[in-house]
Amino acid sequence: MGGAGRAGGYPAKQISMQLSIIKIGGNIIDDEAKLAGFLDSFAATPGKKILVHGGGKLATRVAEALGIKQQLVDGRRITDAETLKVVTMVYAGTVNKNIVANLQARGCDAIGLTGADGNSILAHKRTHPAIDYGWVGDVDSVDAAFLTGLLTLDKTLVFAPITHDGQGHLLNTNADTIAQELARGLGRSFDVSLVYSFEKSGVLMDADDDNSVLSRIGPAEYQDLKAKQVIFAGMIPKLDNAFAALRSGVRRVIIGRAEELPLLLAGKAGTTIVNE
């Protein structure tokens, strides 16, 4: 995972170069006012930055309008050939380019990308002993050298959750995973902060109480909370990904509301995950 770039390895670590990688979910994509407010904050975020987005509900609406039946297993979309056409059109087309255009309007020079562009994210078709996920991809490598080159040109990167396998096939890939793999791959070149933003205020002690946010979680505390079944099940994959990223060189991972992005990056909101 997070493999070497085309130049034969990762560039030397440059601690002074800050990089924010921020993933937004469908609750922001689907709400025009929330998306506009988030993009205001994102465009104003200092330093180098990457935005990773999902597709929200638009792909489902388009597929249903075209008579393409949609199937989800554990929240993951089964991606047959026709569904792949829809998610590519929606994620890499409509959603991605609207975000890029709106960032340009805010003075943020952005480039919209998928994993196929510049061979930036290589993946393979997922295999499972019991479930055929179709054209769903799991990441093999990130071309850190290529992406570092774009970032050093002061371009903001906007990634749609589409990758490729190097054999001419596009793959639908989980946006959380793409954010994590980008953070892992670029963590050797930058001082990376990875932000997972979603509808909750952070990691909650009580899933029904949005004020029960844990401000900071380390590995020992996480294992204790899992053993006591304090953390609700939907948060565990995000936290597992967070600690995997930290073990790979990412400086910190933050989980919280996209609407609070400046506070999240300042450590004044959400939950900060640390590997200590």
Domains and CATH numbers, the chain: 18-200 (3.40.1160.10)
Report the DSSP beta bridge partners of residue 141: 122
187 and 244 Cβ atoms separated by less than 8 Å: no
Structure tokens at 241: 């990904």
Per-residue model confidence (pLDDT) at position 199: 81
Mean pLDDT of successive 10-residue segments in the chain (276 residues)?
44 66 91 95 96 90 92 81 96 97 98 98 94 94 97 97 98 93 92 90 85 91 87 79 86 92 93 88
Q: What does residue 172 show for φ and ψ, rounded to 5 degrees?
A: -80, 120
CA atoms within 13 A on the CB side of 190: 25
Q: State the DSSP code for 131.
A: -
What is the enclosing helix (H) or strand (E) of 91? none
Per-residue model confidence (pLDDT) at position 215: 93
Per-residue model confidence (pLDDT) at position 12: 46
Per-residue model confidence (pLDDT) at position 155: 97
- CB count in 10 Å sphere of residue 217: 22
Cα 189-42-52 angle, rounded to 5 deg: 60
Question: pTM for this one?
Answer: 0.89
Per-residue model confidence (pLDDT) at position 79: 94
Per-residue model confidence (pLDDT) at position 172: 96
Q: State the DSSP code for 248.
A: T
- Crossing angle, helix 175-186 and helix 144-152, to 10 degrees? 80
